[in-house]
Amino acid sequence: MKKKLLVAAITLTTVTSIYAAQGKGYREYGEKIEQSPGANFHLEEMPPGSFGTVVANNKKKILLSVGTRTSVPSRSGRVNQYLQVDGYHDFTITNNTHQRQTYRLFVSLECGSMRFSDSRYVDIEPGGYYTRNDHSYGAVQQAYPGSYRIAAETSLDGESSHSSRDSNTLYVSK
């Protein structure tokens, strides 16, 4: 019986940590989640590479490479139905300097009056790198037919900075 419980615990640990951020020489801390009253939004980590890999070089500092990417699919539904809106966020940081670099990671998703954001910090040691893929999502309900903007943002702020935004439309019919 103890052996079965041990195997189950190891399996759960493996499954729950399989989508953790990937890299070498990094530390995440200071997560802060904010959302508008009544919002029911969430953030989940995606498998590495599920959204692709992005690398954008900052010409000011060749030794640091940072990149972000954001995608928002369109959605459609009916008045007074709960409809899911989604944002996909990708971060990449490489530190080839000789000192630790600290970055603030930020994601947001909004539709109508509903807004969600998640921010955290990550330290990258010299020679370290960090990649992360996130999926933000939430349920929205619109009382009137029409077109509503869905917008998402992904940004990195530190020695080098990079941000990306995307938007699409939620189509609501009677």
Domains of the chain in start order, with CATH, are 22-173 (2.60.40)
pLDDT digits (tens, 9 = 90+) for 66-110: 899 999 999 999 999 999 999 999 999 999 889 999 999 999 999
One-character DSSP codes across 84-115: EEEEEEEEEEEE-SSS-EEEEEEEEEEETTEE
Q: Which residue has the tokens 């399996």?
A: 11
> Please, what is the Cα angle at 8 between 7 and 9, to 5 degrees?
90
pLDDT digits (tens, 9 = 90+) for 27-71: 999 999 999 998 889 999 887 655 544 444 444 444 668 899 999
